[in-house]
Structure 1
Amino acid sequence: MRCGCARPGAEVRVTVSATTLLGLDDAPADLEGYGPIDAVRARALAAGGVWRRVVTDPRTDRVLDVGRERYRPTAALAELVRTRDRTCAFPGCTVPARRADLDHTREYHPQPGAPPDAPLGRTDADNLGALCRRHHRLKTDGGFRLRQIEPGLFEWITPAGHRYLVRPGTGQSHDATVDPYDAPPPF
C-alpha cells in the first residue's frame, strides 16, 4: 500500500558567482561536499534548481543575508518571528505565537485581480507575523488590511478605515485613526 506522501527532494548546494551563471566568465563553482566544479556543470545544476541568494561581505566573506525564495520559512526564521511576536498580531489577541500561523504581511503569491507588476512579499522577518487562524482569515478574506511598519510593529486597517498599531506580545496597541501618518507610535 502506498501512502501517497511526497518525499522531500535532495538538496544540492552549489556556490557560484552571478557572473558565471550569466555566462560573463567561466569561474569555477563549489559543489558542497565535493569541491570545485567547472562553470558548465555549475550552470547545468543551477538550471533546474531553486536558487537562494546569499549576500556576503566582499572583504570578510561573512554572510550578510540569505534570500528566501520559498513560501515556507526555515525553522530558524519561524522561531525568530514567533519569539519576537509572542502572540497573534491582532489588537488584543492573546493566542500564543507558537499556536499561530506565520503569515506573509505582504502577500507572497499574486492575488486575483492584482496588477501583474504588483510587488510580492518575501519570506523574511520583515514580512512575516504570527496570526491565529481566526485573524489570519480575517486578514485574508475579511476585508482587513495589514502591513508591517517595521519588524514586529503591525498596522491593521479595518474595512471602515480605522487604523490600529500593535506590538504583539506586549499588550500594547494604539488606535491611530486620527494620528498623522508620520507620527511615531507611542510605544
Structure 2
Amino acid sequence: IAIGVTHPVTGQLLSLHPMAQRFLRGLPAELVQSLNQRCTWMLCRRPAISCDLDHTKPYAQGGETSVDNVAPLCRRHHRVKTEGDWKVEQTSPGHLRYTDPHGRKYEVTPPRLTDPVDDPDPPPF
C-alpha cells in the first residue's frame, strides 16, 4: 500500500512512500503512467501505458522502486538510455533532466492535467 500527497490546486503528485519491490505495480504504476501520459524521452509520443516503467537511477545501483524514481520509457528509448552514454535525473515525479553524451541537457516535464478547456459556446461580444 502506498500513500500519496498531491498539490491541492494542481493535483500534481508531491510525494509517495516507496514500494519495496523490483517492479512498480498497481496504483503507483498507474499514477506514473497517468502523470506522464507518454514516453518521457524528448518528443516521443508513445502512450505511457505501452511503455516500460524504467528506474531513473538503476535498481542494481540502489535505485528505489518508487514514483520518485520510475518513469515511462518506450522500449526503444529505454535501450538508448540504458545502453547509451545518457545520464538521467528525476528532480521530482515526472520531471526529468536528460544529459546527452556531449553534455547537453534536456528538461522534460509532465503535461498539465488541469489545462483549461476551451468553452464550446463563448459568450457573444
Partners of 1:155 and 1:128 lie apart in 2 by: 13
> Normalising by structure 1, what TM-score?
0.50
Which secondary structure state, in structure 2, belongs to the residue aligned with residue 122 of structure 1?
coil
> Normalising by structure 2, what TM-score?
0.73
How far residue 136 of structure 1 moved from its aligned partner, in angstroms, is: 0.4
How far residue 68 of structure 1 moved from its aligned partner, in angstroms, is: 1.9
5+ residue gaps, structure 2, are 4-14, 113-125
Q: Does 1:159 pair with 2:112? A: no
- The answer as to whether partners of 1:88 and 1:94 remain within 8 angstroms in 2 is yes
Aligned-residue identity in percent: 36
Aligned partner of 1:45 in structure 2 is none
1:78 to 19, 29, 32: 29
Aligned partner of 1:88 in structure 2 is 39
- Name which one, 1 or 2, has greater alpha-carbon Rg: 1
5+ residue gaps, structure 1, are 1-51, 56-63, 111-119, 171-187
Change over 3 Å in CA distance of 1:69–1:94 after alignment to 2: same
Change over 3 Å in CA distance of 1:66–1:162 after alignment to 2: closer
Aligned partner of 2:64 in structure 1 is 122
Aligned partner of 2:50 in structure 1 is 99
Give the root-mean-square deviation of aligned CA atoms: 2.3
- The answer as to whether partners of 1:90 and 1:168 remain within 8 angstroms in 2 is no
1:131 to 49, 57, 73: 73
Change over 3 Å in CA distance of 1:65–1:157 after alignment to 2: closer
Q: How many residues align?
A: 101
Partners of 2:28 and 2:94 lie apart in 1 by: 13
Per-residue CA distance 1:78-130 (angstroms, 9 max, x = gap): 100000000000111100000100001011113xxxxxxxxx11111110100
Per-residue CA distance 1:12-39 (angstroms, 9 max, x = gap): xxxxxxxxxxxxxxxxxxxxxxxxxxxx
Change over 3 Å in CA distance of 1:159–1:86 after alignment to 2: same
- Runs of 4+ displaced beyond 6 Å: none
- Relative contact order (C-alpha < 8 Å, sep 6+): which is higher? 2
Change over 3 Å in CA distance of 1:157–1:86 after alignment to 2: same
